[in-house]
Amino acid sequence: MQGRNPGIASEKEIVVTLAKVEATAEQRAKVLAAFDAALPQTRALQAERETLRQQLQGLSPRQPDYLERSAALAKQWGELHEREVLAYARFESAVATTLSDSQWEQWQDQAVLMAPIERGPGAGGQMRRRR
């Protein structure tokens, strides 16, 4: 999963999965609208995450203000993670409330929805299936 966008799959994966769950035209339109709304925000959050990661890596423990700068970046990282989780939750909620119960179960079985957990300054964070 390295290199993939955490949380929201590609549009192609979503379209394929919508076909597999036999979504109606109305359901497809709603899910794709939610994807279109989420994508710019998730890309901006990913860029912000990369900037913070670079800033963290640029710190030296020998700097006199190392602890203060680390604490400030850690706080920003936590706030960023919260925004990422909420952006993903909005998309996931839109999909879950658009599809029927059986379609939602099939959607999850396709592993389209992956949620970021325990993301830290390291490479990629961990992923887990959402149920």
Q: Specify the residue for token string 């992923």.
A: 127
Question: What does the alpha-carbon distance between residue 107 and residue 22 come to, in Å, rounded to a whole number?
Answer: 10
Output the pLDDT for position 13.
Answer: 85
Output the pLDDT for position 12.
Answer: 86
Per-residue pLDDT of the chain (131 residues; tens, 9 = 90+): 233 344 567 888 889 889 999 999 999 999 999 999 998 998 899 999 999 999 999 999 999 999 999 999 999 999 999 999 999 889 989 999 999 999 999 988 875 444 443 344 444 443 334 44
Output the pLDDT for position 110.
Answer: 78
Question: Is the sign of the CA dihedral 85, 86, 91, 93 positive or negative?
Answer: positive
Output the pLDDT for position 80.
Answer: 95
Output the pLDDT for position 32.
Answer: 94
Q: pTM score > 0.75 for this model?
A: no
Q: What is the 3-state secondary structure (H, E, C) of 41-97?
A: HHHHHHHHHHHHHHHHHHCCCCCCCHHHHHHHHHHHHHHHHHHHHHHHHHHHHHHHH
Output the pLDDT for position 108.
Answer: 85
Output the pLDDT for position 8.
Answer: 62
Q: Specify the residue for token string 């964070």.
A: 125
> Are the C-beta atoms of residues 52 and 76 closer than 8 Å to each other?
yes
Output the pLDDT for position 4.
Answer: 37
